[in-house]
Amino acid sequence: MRSICLHFQIHQPFRLRTYRFFDIGSSHEYYDDYQNRSITKRVAERCYLPMNRLLLGLIKEYGADFKVSFSISGVAIDHLRIYAPEVIESFKTLAKTGNVEFLAETYAHSLASLNDTEEFKDQVDKHVQLMEELFGKHPTAFRNTEMIYSDEIGKKVLEMGFHVMLTEGAKHILGWKSPNFLYCSAANPKLKLLLRNFQLSDDIGFRYSNQNWNEWPLTAEKFAKWINTYQNQNVVNIFIDYETFGEHQWKESGIFDFMKALPKQVFAKTDFKFRTPSEIAEINQTISAISVPEPISWADEERDLTAWLGNEMQDEAFDNLYNLNDKIQRCNDPDIMQDWLYLQTSDHFYYMCTKWFSDGTVHKYFNPYSSPYEAFINYMNILSDFTIRVEEYIQQNSEEVPEQKVEGKEYSLLEPQRETDFDLIFTLSKKELKKALEKIDIKELAYSLYDKTEDILIDFKRKLPLTYKTQLEKLVSEIKRPRKTTIEGYRKKITSKLQSYFNLF
Amino acid sequence: MRVLMFGWEFPPHITGGLGTACFGMTKGLLKNGVEVLFVVPKAYGDESQEAVRLINASDVSIDIRKRENLEFWKKITYLEVNSNLVPYVGPEAFENLVETVELNETISESSIFSTQYSFSGKYGSNLIEEVSRYALVGAQIASESQFDLIHAHDWLTYPAGIAAKKASGKPLVVHIHATEFDRSGENVNQQVYDIERKGMEAADRVIAVSNLTRNIVIERYGINPSKVFTVHNAVEPVFREDDHVYEKQVREKIVTFLGRVTFQKGPEYFIEAAYKVYQRDKNVRFVMAGTGDLLEKMIRRVARLHMSSRFHFTGFLRGENVDRMFGLSDVYVMPSVSEPFGISPLEAMRSNVPVVISKQSGVAEVLQHALKVDFWDVDAMADAIFALLNYKSLSTTFSKYGASEVENLKWENAAKNIKSVYKQICHD
């Protein structure tokens, strides 16, 4: 039952336009539409569409023996929806074959997993919903932004209900161990880990068309032979950017022909089959646990976070961004929420990396700025404007609410005042609600909801995080005929918590 | 290897960057085993002699009774007449001489004429005159000294370099620190341009301080690219005895322009960018340190923008005051329209001051830890200034990398490149 796990990462950031400090407060146009459109269209043309066709062909040819997996960031989907909707259709076609697994990740391909807020879970929820909506399946495996992983992140991922996660087979973590097995997290053994074989992955991703490489040209036959040398090792994880095909490695290099020929060679020369992450996690025994106290990633030689965080500029930008988190929870404006996501995309921090001063042709290649300083300045200008918008929004909305209260008192001084107060919980935005739930005892809430009508509850439950929702439903069903005073008591308690927290009722 | 080098000034008597560059270069050359005989028009006696034997042109006697000497005159005369630039070498003396030489050699031989010219060494009104006389002295020195090649810095010394080449037959290297296009834009002084071109044409090798300048040499002076080489300038490390910390007297952040207030340095772009920044950020003051022919115009412009209470003109600063100015600055801006190299940003960076420099400067070719903008793009310039004032980690990063980047621009390395140019034309 030896398996090859072919996994493709698809991501396109919303590139920012040149945004001067005097735009702050006057323009809220942050994105370089021209660049975003032309790059997305180009990559769709050169990579996504032809490669999807190729994979579909292989699936039809080999059936159950050939499966692949994708993780497509939410922002990449947003790009495709606007600029190349036909690509989404072609992914749906792939999904229908049943041979393709779509993984969950953060919606914005962000670094939220490194931040101590609920934002990580929020974004994963949002991405999970998107995957369900597009491909009709609830993702069961997880791939974090750029394969970033640590014990702590693993814990959060497991809590969100995923039992398998992809990450880098970093040398400094594995030591003498081989990446070609199924591992689990030492801190949370229920979480299974697939570790990237960076040698083979980079042979395709980076070296394929490098004529100075002593293995050039790489053929499917040669590659299959290499795979076959892994005796008694049963999982080979090849994780690469999907854009490898046709964009990083040009069509002329023969990369498509290579991919087309690969399954045939693998089946002829080895006993490997192509399987998806969830499948592999299910059919294999974990061989050992690995411990990752400090985050790893698949980037650069260091395989750490230094491509995105660590220099003063990156840290300042990151801190400034996530300092907004609390305020964002109180916003319910679709534009603000969208920009909040797009500004979190990890690429913005990647552009600020100063490592390429010494080495980093890769950074330079993917960088629209001529220096990390320019990247930082531009980002900070935009973030300054965004901060102002968030603050203005909160100010405006906190002014309106007390007015409503005054109006309410004028029109009705009726007794069920308290009940109305509690009902305000149903008017909270998703973000606000999330914040409120931290303060509220879930059991008390369950009681408070006991005699509410079904249509109110449906709307309310939609705003809840998945795990919270299931827990709450379970609790509600366990309640047996409470007294009216008990319910009111809990409602009163929750209402006063909401009042003190939001300070606006 | 021994080089006869013609300069115009030498520390501490400097008015521009040329003297400082020459000093660093001679020290760097010495470390690379190259000996330098350095000629300046006027030596004050307190110049640093650590790396060079300094020859004071004012001390050189020209004894025109000598037969060989007359030949120099002829050569020089030939050069002058041909170029039709400098109608005379000395005030009256030269006219007389030309006449004499042309008329009859014997007459001149009979006249007893031994003289020392005194040079002001300044960029004054009778500059062309001094340049010509300097050439005479150059020839004289060349005939009396032992050396392998001649190296002349900027147009003022090219006639001397050419004369020395003719007198000695040794190869000539001319070094372009600035061209007439950098100094005057399109309104070039034809006389100066011609002297520059003659110098470059006569030279066996031309060294430019940046690729920017190299391109000007090739395109505007029509010099064969195969003999033009770029050697970027460097800076001398400073060892400050006491690391004096200058205390700021004002609360606001300070953005500084320091340089000649002339067309070349782009002071008006600084003012326009300052105005844009000031619209948004009132916690800032601007300083224009230096003087020049555009100064009055600049003062008027600032007044018109109603910024005078926040925009300060200091006049020309030197020595310790320059250090003090850097010490007080939060941002240094060099918006030069055309800057062959531009050493001042390096001095600022050495004082941990982050810099914004124009892309039209040679120094932009070697610096990574600087914000680079087009001189005319005042929006980008303003944006860069604003960012440095407001986003703290940006200046932190500059301080972290900037000083060490400057330290790595050593004259020793630059001199190595100069030496390799020497080696192409003289085999010792």
pLDDT 10s digits, A439-448: 788 888 888 8
The helix/strand/coil state of A231 is coil
How many residues are listed for chain B in this entry? 428
Query: Residue A180: what pLDDT?
Result: 96
pLDDT digits (tens, 9 = 90+) for B305-320: 999 889 999 988 877 8
β-bridge pairing A192-196 and A183-185: antiparallel
Residue contact B387–A21, C-beta within 8 A: yes
CB A220 within 8 A of CB A265: yes
Q: How confident is the model at residue B126 (pLDDT cuts 50, 70, 90)?
A: low
Element (H, E) at A185: strand A183-185
**Number of Cα atoms under 13 Å in the Cβ half of residue B64:** 26
pLDDT digits (tens, 9 = 90+) for A240-280: 999 999 999 999 999 999 999 999 999 999 999 999 999 99
The backbone torsions φ and ψ at residue A194, rounded to the nearest 5 degrees and listed phi first, read -105, 125
CB A352 within 8 A of CB A313: yes
Query: Residue B86: what pLDDT?
Result: 27
Per-residue pLDDT at B122 exceeds 70: no
Longest distance between any two alpha carbons in chain A, whole Å: 85
Q: Does A34 touch chain B (CB under 8 A)?
A: no
User: What CATH architecture is A2-15+30-290?
Assistant: Alpha-Beta Barrel (3.20)
CA distance B62 to B136: 8
Residue contact B280–A357, C-beta within 8 A: no
Closest chain A C-alpha to B390 CA, distance in angstroms? 9
Element (H, E) at B257: strand B253-258
Residue contact B371–A381, C-beta within 8 A: no
CA distance B291 to A36: 48
**Number of Cα atoms under 13 Å in the Cβ half of residue B407:** 10
CA distance B116 to B63: 9
What is the arithmetic mean of pLDDT over B288-310? Answer: 91
Nearest to A316 among B280, B368, B393 (CB): B393
pLDDT digits (tens, 9 = 90+) for A330-387: 999 999 999 999 999 999 999 998 887 765 455 556 678 988 899 999 999 999 999 9
pLDDT digits (tens, 9 = 90+) for B134-178: 888 888 888 888 999 999 999 989 999 999 999 899 999 999 998
Which residues of A form the catalytic set? 146
Give me Rg for the CA atoms of chain A. Answer: 25
B253-407 domain in CATH 3.40.50.2000? yes
- Lowest mean pLDDT segment, chosen from A130-144, A463-477, B44-58, B294-308: B44-58
> CB neighbours (10 Å) of residue A444?
18
pLDDT digits (tens, 9 = 90+) for A57-79: 999 999 999 999 999 999 999 99
DSSP A150-166: -HHHHHHHHHTT--EEE
CA distance B4 to B39: 8
Q: Does A26 touch chain B (CB under 8 A)?
A: no
For A:344-373, CB contacts with B below 8 A are: 354, 357, 370-371, 373
DSSP A109-141: -BSGGGSSSTHHHHHHHHHHHHHHHHHSS---E
In this prediction, what percent of chain B has a pLDDT beyond 90? 46
Per-residue pLDDT at A501 exceeds 60: yes
Query: Residue A55: what pLDDT?
Result: 97
Residues of B in contact with A21 (CB under 8 A): 280, 382-383, 386-387, 390
Q: Measured in whole angstroms, how far is the alpha carbon of residue B111 from the centre of its chain?
A: 40
Nearest alpha carbon to residue B7 among B138, B118, B129, B117: B138
- Our CA angle for A109, A3, A249, nearest 5°, is 50
Closest chain A C-alpha to B372 CA, distance in angstroms? 9
CA distance A191 to A184: 6
Q: ipTM exceeding 0.85?
A: no
CA distances for A349 relative to A151, A364, A437, angstroms: 23, 13, 31
Q: How confident is the model at residue B267 (pLDDT cuts 50, 70, 90)?
A: very high
Mean of pLDDT over chain B: 81
Task: Give B338 or B74, the one with higher predicted confidence.
Answer: B338
CB B234 within 8 A of CB B407: no
Q: How buried is residue B90: exposed, middle or buried, by Cβ count under 10 Å (0-12/13-18/19+)?
A: middle
Per-residue pLDDT at B72 exceeds 50: no
Nearest to B383 among A21, A313, A371 (CB): A21
- CATH class for the domain made up of B2-234+414-425: alpha beta
Per-residue pLDDT at A140 exceeds 80: yes
Closest chain A C-alpha to B383 CA, distance in angstroms? 6
Q: How buried is residue B265: exposed, middle or buried, by Cβ count under 10 Å (0-12/13-18/19+)?
A: buried
The backbone torsions φ and ψ at residue B372, rounded to the nearest 5 degrees and listed phi first, read -115, 130
Closest chain A residue to B355 measured between Cα atoms? A373
Nearest to B383 among A315, A357, A377 (CB): A377
Q: How confident is the model at residue B250 (pLDDT cuts 50, 70, 90)?
A: confident
CB A70 within 8 A of CB A10: yes
Q: Does A188 touch chain B (CB under 8 A)?
A: no
CA distances for A39 relative to A30, A79, A215, A243, A369, angstroms: 17, 10, 31, 11, 15
Nearest alpha carbon to residue A180 among A288, A44, A332: A288
β-bridge pairing B2-6 and A100-102: unpaired
Residues of B in contact with A373 (CB under 8 A): 369, 371, 394, 397
Nearest alpha carbon to residue B342 among B357, B326, B327: B357
Tokens coding B40? 């300046």
CA distance B68 to B65: 9
**Domain A412-502, CATH number (from 1.20.1560.10, 1.10.220.30, 1.10.287.3510, 1.20.120.450):** 1.10.220.30
CB B389 within 8 A of CB B281: yes
CA distance A54 to A6: 14
pLDDT digits (tens, 9 = 90+) for A164-211: 999 999 999 999 999 999 999 999 999 999 999 999 999 999 999 999
Residues of A in contact with B356 (CB under 8 A): none
CB A385 within 8 A of CB A23: yes
Query: Residue A367: what pLDDT?
Result: 79
**Alpha helix stretches (DSSP H) within A270-371:** 277-283, 312-322, 325-328, 334-344, 347-350, 361-365
Residue contact A22–B387, C-beta within 8 A: no
Per-residue pLDDT at B94 exceeds 60: no
The helix/strand/coil state of A17 is coil
Residues of A in contact with B279 (CB under 8 A): 22
Per-residue pLDDT at B237 exceeds 90: no
CB A115 within 8 A of CB A148: no
Listed by start position, the domains of chain B span 2-234+414-425, 253-407
Per-residue pLDDT at B110 exceeds 60: no
DSSP A321-340: HHTTHHHHTT---HHHHHHH
What is the arithmetic mean of pLDDT over B100-126? Answer: 46
Q: Measured in whole angstroms, how far is the alpha carbon of residue A282 from the centre of its chain?
A: 23
Q: How confident is the model at residue A305 (pLDDT cuts 50, 70, 90)?
A: very high
- Our CA angle for A23, A25, A30, nearest 5°, is 55
Nearest to A22 among B276, B368, B400 (CB): B276
In chain A, where does the domain assigned CATH 1.10.220.30 lie? 412-502
CA distance B344 to B16: 11
What is the arithmetic mean of pLDDT over B206-233? Answer: 96
Q: Does B275 touch chain A (CB under 8 A)?
A: no
Residues of A in contact with B368 (CB under 8 A): 357, 371
> CB neighbours (10 Å) of residue A473?
15
β-bridge pairing B35-40 and A2-10: unpaired
Per-residue pLDDT at B66 exceeds 80: no
CA distance A493 to A444: 9
Per-residue pLDDT at B326 exceeds 80: yes
> CB neighbours (10 Å) of residue A366?
14
Q: Does B228 touch chain A (CB under 8 A)?
A: no
Q: Does B300 touch chain A (CB under 8 A)?
A: no
Residue contact A377–B397, C-beta within 8 A: no
Query: Residue A417: what pLDDT?
Result: 44
- Lowest mean pLDDT segment, chosen from A179-193, B1-15, B168-182, B342-356: B1-15
Tokens coding B163? 């004369």
Instruction: Give Cβ neighbours of residue A31 (< 8 Å, ≥ 6 apart).
Output: A14, A15, A16, A17, A342
Query: Residue A483: what pLDDT?
Result: 78
Query: Residue A134: what pLDDT?
Result: 96
In chain A, where does the domain assigned CATH 3.20.110.20 lie? 2-15+30-290
Closest chain B residue to A319 measured between Cα atoms? B393
Nearest to A22 among B280, B390, B400 (CB): B280
- The torsion defined by the Cα of A140, A145, A149 and A152, in degrees rounded to 10, comes to -80
CA distance A262 to A257: 8
Q: Does A399 touch chain B (CB under 8 A)?
A: no
Please give the sequence-ordered ranges of beta strands (E in DSSP) within B290-329, or none if there are none. 311-315
Closest chain B residue to A383 measured between Cα atoms? B391
Q: How buried is residue B206: exposed, middle or buried, by Cβ count under 10 Å (0-12/13-18/19+)?
A: buried
What is the arithmetic mean of pLDDT over B237-253? Answer: 70
What is the arithmetic mean of pLDDT over A471-491? Answer: 81
Q: Does B283 touch chain A (CB under 8 A)?
A: no
Tokens coding A128? 């999970």
Check for a shared fold between B2-234+414-425 and B253-407: yes
CA distance B250 to A483: 70
Residue contact B397–A22, C-beta within 8 A: no
Per-residue pLDDT at A25 exceeds 80: yes
CA distance B399 to B247: 18
Closest chain A C-alpha to B394 CA, distance in angstroms? 6
What is the arithmetic mean of pLDDT over B249-274? Answer: 92
The backbone torsions φ and ψ at residue B309, rounded to the nearest 5 degrees and listed phi first, read -75, -15
Mean of pLDDT over chain A: 89
